[in-house]
Structure 1
């Protein structure tokens, strides 16, 4: 991309985003349309990365580029990798992103971090947060809007903030301080019915023998192939996708909390849906998986 063109970026951002995402979708669909992918087709996908290298540090390309790069690292694109790329493209080109939703969600994360900055959460702060949420009800159904709204409404409808309630609020809000210093949110919470629970299981019991495992996200310690070997060596069976037959979905610890969608990707989304439908499926943080591996020897 010629340097002279960059000065026009601010005037064409929306159209450039649409063009880039549509091009990537077309490339992925085109090179996989016959069910086979050769080295020349992978190289063609690499040209998309090269064409966007000047903006790979800016959103949303800083979210897309690692997904594409990881998919082609071994010279083969599996169906799961293809679906991950297409899912993320569709999310990023939706009205949720291209409208004001992305900015408002990022602001919500920062608001929660700001409330928690002094280590105290007051009833007055919760009432102010409740008003803020009401003014942005277009965020409903997007994580963590519903979780925050339910928690705040429940506390304000009670008898004030006692020690136990304050501890619960601190545990929730503290996660969003991580957003402000580029660390990964470790234990995001999810609304299931009337309860707020962790997306990732807390201190899960992990049994390897005969169990099925799937991995999503980037690991701070292992490659995907190494994850598979660890499971197989301990009598487990790795799967490439999320299905009702899956027992453990391991979520990698690496990530960028300012990403709007990739930190909560397609596999996690599907696993949450299956869990809500009654599937006995555990979503496990990578750190807990490491502990289980060490315990299993």
Structure 2
């Protein structure tokens, strides 16, 4: 019986790995192609991605994927056509997959997009604006990590309609937290460029908040009012205020700490715990106190 269970588990585990790999590949292809150009470094990252997934080579449709990538590397087909063919295979796999999980897949695609953008060690303006468009088109992910944090960061970068080198470095620093670059030279280049940048938790931009039966925790020093009055407003709207972060916490309200870059970073013990829970799959939303106060004012006024 144990052998049967192990075999069954292996089937489902292999399928899960395949689904995740397909979604991340789809995102990687989108990211590579976002600026409309495909260079040798990006194709090299694609090859290294394929090498890291060789255990799936006998599983449909990975054999076809590997054949397309090999053909591109031996110059049998153009690199642009390679990206298009691989993307078509990804879409075909999704259409044939009855157990396709849209939200999980879209989040994996997003991580793949960031991987593709970072594949050549540079981030240009078109990639950032195209990423913003993808984020806008997929706002159903707004309560999920890392979509909400990436969207907050991109909105902050584009707020003045100008992108400077420091903002590109901030984006690099954030992407590298969950992007596993296979090219050692590019990985080292990104690590050196972002060595002085630390990002720990991003507040959700334009948060959508439900109150009835939801649990709210507050951290930091509030600039607008105090915790007691905010907790009373939460109760008045049907929410449940708590003093600690748990897996059941729905929202963490982060007090303004005087840091002008609060849209980039929110620090503290509760924030760190919330971030770790989010990375485990719990949908805890981080909201800056100013945004939350605006929501309260609109509902109570």
TM-score category (smaller protein): 0.3 to 0.5
After TM superposition, the score normalised by the length of structure 2 is 0.37
Q: Relative contact order (alpha carbons < 8 A, sep ≥ 6): 1 or 2 greater? A: 2
After TM superposition, the score normalised by the length of structure 1 is 0.37
